[in-house]
């Protein structure tokens, strides 16, 4: 413990009496402590502000400002308030003791003092301070760990809820779509048959009874026969699109795996864009956002696909927010609204995904803080300040990747995700 205590720093002795100073200094030095001295209150305060000591032995009655005042000033400054102060004085009355302790001193030594006692008390208080520092450090570390764990729980919960919702929707539309797709071919065959019958009727119109001929004449049969296959075709294309959406939704939902798997990142980006589709399309507030995909060939990447999708989701949602905000304030009509997504391999070792928007951009101050937990510039209820903190944790800690931001205020922002292959 002696080693640790000496390590804690120096001890400042403040006393106007040279004899006291030298006796105390000698005693503490021979006990292994490093000593500095001040002969009045003002120089003590200026010395402390330059280099804070581990502990202060403070005389009360001195010319100039008193020990009580020195104590008060040090305790009111956040930088010096935690330095332990022990008063030393000939004033042995209870009132002075109480005053000293109520000002925040940790202890009180009456003059004339026993050297052994002073050394013992100094040791105890240094030790207490050290233990206190260690405790504070531990609390800080545990709070950080807890906050990280909490973020992970929030993130997992959010993703698994979204996954369940998406899986539910995909499941619900699957049956009716299956029914429509399955009936498409028989309908086509039936319609071909019926069309044939109608054509025969048309060719032999003169043999038909009047009422049948009149009914045929009253509807534009030729047009119907020509238009019906076109309608059927476009219904078929639409149902196939819905089927594709349903498959993407199921892939997105299934991405919530507990082990790493090799996946096609483009599928993840496309699934995420699909889910954000309603926010990308034009609204009463602004026109469509154009998504420019510059996909290069990528190998499958080992990852937790659900988490990676969440990163895409958080970054893309922010890009849409930034474009919305920019449009609301600037409405530049010659400026189309775009989100560019570029993917490529670098050095055969990494996959790089760049997501670039031409939204409002951000200042350097904001850029430096975007990955901080709870940092948001959005109004209450709209921003949580968790999106990018979660993204950072997923990319950097879970996948050993990198997440960087480049931005120019008023012009736009680029997020660069790098993942090892
Ligand atoms: N594409 C972007 N353009 C401009 N600012 C952005 C962009 N992405 C993030 N930001 C800034 O980073 C902040 C933190 O983002 P995020 O962690 O997702 O939290 P939130 O979106 O809830 O505010 C945002 O409030 C915004 O100021
Ligand atoms: Mg966000």
pLDDT over 50 (residue 407) = yes
Whether 310 is in the pocket of ligand 1, judged by its Cβ within 6 Å, is: no
The torsion angle over the Cα atoms of residues 111, 113, 119 and 120, rounded to 10 degrees, is -100
pLDDT of 334 reads: 54
Distance (Å, whole) CA 162 – CA 173:
17
What is the sign of the dihedral through the CA atoms of 404, 408, 413 and 414? negative
pLDDT of 66 reads: 93
Ligand nearest to the CA of 376: 1
| Ligand 2 geometric centre to CA of 384 (Å) | 7
pLDDT in tens, 288-326: 999 999 999 999 999 999 889 999 999 999 999 999 999
Instruction: Give me 221's structure tokens.
Output: 């049969």
| Ligand 1 geometric centre to CA of 366 (Å) | 9
| Ligand 2 geometric centre to CA of 378 (Å) | 9
Q: Percent of the chain beyond pLDDT 70? A: 96
Give ion ligand 2 contacts, CB < 5 A.
318, 387
Geometric angle at alpha carbon 16, from 11 and 19, rounded to 5°: 80
Contact 271, 251 (CB under 8 A): yes
Q: Which helix (H) or strand (E) holds 344?
A: strand 338-346
Least confident of 45-59, 107-121, 407-421: 107-121
DSSP 321-336: HHHHHHHHHH--TTS-
pLDDT in tens, 267-290: 999 989 988 988 999 988 889 999
Structural domains of the chain, ranges and CATH numbers in brackets: 2-113 (3.40.50.2300), 255-420 (3.30.565.10)
Q: Which residues contact 329 (CB under 8 A, 6 or more apart)?
A: 360
Q: Which residues contact 400 (CB under 8 A, 6 or more apart)?
A: 420
Ligand nearest to the CA of 367: 1
Confirm whether pTM is higher than 0.85.
no
Chain-centre distance for alpha carbon 322:
16
* Ranges assigned E (strand) in 190-321: 261-263, 290-295, 301-303
Taking CA atoms, 270 is separated from 10, 31, 248, 275, in Å, by 63, 72, 8, 9
pLDDT over 60 (residue 5) = no
Whether 373 is in the pocket of ligand 1, judged by its Cβ within 6 Å, is: no
DSSP label at 206? G
- Share the mean pLDDT of the chain: 89
Instruction: Give me 158's structure tokens.
Output: 């959010």
Burial class (CB in 10 A: 0-12, 13-18, 19+), 415: buried
pLDDT over 60 (residue 22) = yes
Whether 367 is in the pocket of ligand 1, judged by its Cβ within 6 Å, is: no
Ligand nearest to the CA of 370: 1
Whether 412 is in the pocket of ligand 1, judged by its Cβ within 6 Å, is: no
Whether 357 is in the pocket of ligand 1, judged by its Cβ within 6 Å, is: yes
- Side-chain half-sphere of 370: how many Cα atoms within 13 Å? 21
pLDDT over 90 (residue 164) = no
Q: Which helix (H) or strand (E) holds 389?
A: helix 387-392
Chain-centre distance for alpha carbon 72:
42
| Ligand 1 geometric centre to CA of 296 (Å) | 27
pLDDT of 92 reads: 67
Residue nearest (by alpha carbon) to ligand 1 atom 18: 387
């Amino acid at each position: 413990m002696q080693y640790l205590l000496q390590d804690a720093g120096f001890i400042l002795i403040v006393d106007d009496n040279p004899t006291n100073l030298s006796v105390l200094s000698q005693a503490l030095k021979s006990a292994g402590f490093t000593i500095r001295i001040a002969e009045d209150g003002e120089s003590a305060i200026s010395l402390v502000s330059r280099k804070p000591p581990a502990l202060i032995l403070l005389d009360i009655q001195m010319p100039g400002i008193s020990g009580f005042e020195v104590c008060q000033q040090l305790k009111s400054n956040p930088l010096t308030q935690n330095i332990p102060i022990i008063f030393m004085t000939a004033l042995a009355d209870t009132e002075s003791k109480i005053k000293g302790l109520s000002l925040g001193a940790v202890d009180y030594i009456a003059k004339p003092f026993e050297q052994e006692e002073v050394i013992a008390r100094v040791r105890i208080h240094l030790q207490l301070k050290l233990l206190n520092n260690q405790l504070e450090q531990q609390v800080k570390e545990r709070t950080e760990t807890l906050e990280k764990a909490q973020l992970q729980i929030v993130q997992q919960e959010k993703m698994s809820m979204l996954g369940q919702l998406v899986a539910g929707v995909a499941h619900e539309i699957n049956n009716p779509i299956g029914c429509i797709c399955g009936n498409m071919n028989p309908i086509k065959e039936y319609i071909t048959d019926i069309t044939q019958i109608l054509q025969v009727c048309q060719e032999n119109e003169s043999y038909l009874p009047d009422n049948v001929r009149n009914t045929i004449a009253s509807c534009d049969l030729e047009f119907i026969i020509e238009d019906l296959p076109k309608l059927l075709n476009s219904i078929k294309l639409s149902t196939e699109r819905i089927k594709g959406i349903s498959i993407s939704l199921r892939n997105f939902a299934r991405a919530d795996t507990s082990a790493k798997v090799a996946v096609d990142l483009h599928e993840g980006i496309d699934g995420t864009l699909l889910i954000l589709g309603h926010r990308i399309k034009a609204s009463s507030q602004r026109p469509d956002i154009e998504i420019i995909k510059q996909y290069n060939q990528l190998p499958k990447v080992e990852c937790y696909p659900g988490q990676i999708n969440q990163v895409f989701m958080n970054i893309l949602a922010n890009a849409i927010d930034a474009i919305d905000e920019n449009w609301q304030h600037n409405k530049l009509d010659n400026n189309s609204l775009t989100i560019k997504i570029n993917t490529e391999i670098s050095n055969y070792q990494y996959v790089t995904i760049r997501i670039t928007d031409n939204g409002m951009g951000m200042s350097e101050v904001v850029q430096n803080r975007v990955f901080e937990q709870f940092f948001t510039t959005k109004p209450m209820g709209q921003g949580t300040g968790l999106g990018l903190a979660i993204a950072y944790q997923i990319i950097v800690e879970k996948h050993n990747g990198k997440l960087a931001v480049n931005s120019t205020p008023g012009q736009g922002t680029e997020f660069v995700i790098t993942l090892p292959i």
